[in-house]
Amino acid sequence: MNIHIKNGRLVDPKNELDIIQDIYIADGKILAIGNKPDVFRIDRILDASHLVVCPGLVDLSVRLREPGLEYMATLESEMNAAVAGGVTSFACPPDTDPPLDEPGLVEMLKHRARNLNQAHVYPIGALTQGLLGEHLTEMAELRDAGCIVFGQPNGLLGNLRILLQAMQYASTYGLSVWLSPQDKNLAYDGVAHDGEVATRLGLPAIPVCAETVAISNIILLTSEVDVHVHLCRISSAKGLAMVRTARQQGLSMTCDVSMNHIHMSDMDIGFFDSNCHVIPPLRSISDRDALRGGLLDGTIDAICSDHAPVDEDAKLLPFAQAEIGATGVELLLPLTLKYGMEMKRPLAQVLAKITSEPAKVLGIDAGHLSPGAAADICIFDPDIYWKVTSTALLSQGKNTPFLGMEVPGKVRYTLINGNIVYES
């Protein structure tokens, strides 16, 4: 289908564009921007007047819950939710059941995702077999099956020798290692930030040092091996400062933050709101403000949804026993816009954190609107506010701490490879 998107406000952070401009799409790619090509037969016109036309969003953490955890969510439900949120590419963590530690599992997931013909799925390969931290996976075989990065999403490996070997293996093949900076021994059975709220509510706490000790170990090992490391979900001011220093010293290191942590703090737990039970935990207000500052100065490369749908009954348990995680792929755009408005930042600078910058971290050609590029596009109304309710979310998981909140930005169209996959 040849598509003409007309009169839209084109915002492309990578190409430094913020202008009212038309886009012409043919054969699944962006044919031209601005003037209509000489030979172009229009099949459909999308009027984007008063709307923003930007690259499709890139999310660094969307749990699909397949294989093995379909009672929480299915591939179909979560990919529908992704495109409804304007997300056209995303990384899928390996903590499924079984974990993504075998080529056959990765190939099956990629095949199922391709058949749905929606968002581009990039599986994160498991760093160790069964994510148990005891034996390395065959990263080269997993790479051939479709994994482009490798991670350990359930906390830092307890055996640092295994981690060092994993970094050396990844370095040999030029692969990135994605690590969750949380020391398991220090975090132990904690569920909330070690502060006044956890003390008042009697909740087991996770101290900030669980993050800083993990980051310290990662930095020391990274200085020994020529490997790129990505830190998933920075949560504290002290941890952020360590990353900033490491990058200034020349280490190849990137990091992201979840949208939950730039808007919320441990105070939002209130009276045991289990929707706020996330890992890493929501930390203090000063930590939240520091994370916002880290986005502004470029220390934090990307904002992700950290999408983790769970079974409704699992969130009805007491806070400490409730399932960990919050749904959010449909809220990535609105909550990023909300952050930008509160910080009074230019729209292009804000959108970079969910388009071009995460694409760079993931190492994919996405997040921009260059002529010749795949027509992965999000068109949204920045002036519409809508209420986050369980019925408004397409994700099978309705577990979000933002229920009842009015948020800005409503996706009108999502295009992937020139196909309109979502229209509201």
Cα separation, 327 vs 305, in Å, equals 8
Cα separation, 197 vs 208, in Å, equals 14
Q: Catalytic: 311?
A: no
Burial class (CB within 10 angstroms; exposed 0-12, middle 13-18, buried 19+) of 318: exposed
H-helix or E-strand spanning residue 30? strand 29-33
Cα separation, 209 vs 110, in Å, equals 38
Cα separation, 60 vs 307, in Å, equals 9
Work out whether strand 52-55 and strand 377-387 pair parallel, antiparallel, or are unpaired.
antiparallel
Tell me which residue of 390, 422, 419, 417 sits closest to 403, measured CA to CA: 390
Query: Is 417 in a helix, a strand, or coil?
Result: coil
Q: CA of 166: how far to CAs of 140, 155, 225, 325, 381, in Å?
A: 12, 15, 10, 27, 44
End-to-end CA distance of the chain: 19
Candidate list 22, 256, 301, 306, residue with the active-site label: 306
H-helix or E-strand spanning residue 29? strand 29-33
Buried-state track 27-56, b at ≥16 Cβ within 10 A, e below 16: eeebbbbeeeeeeeeeeeebebeebbbbbb
Report, as residue numbers or ranges, the catalytic residues: 306
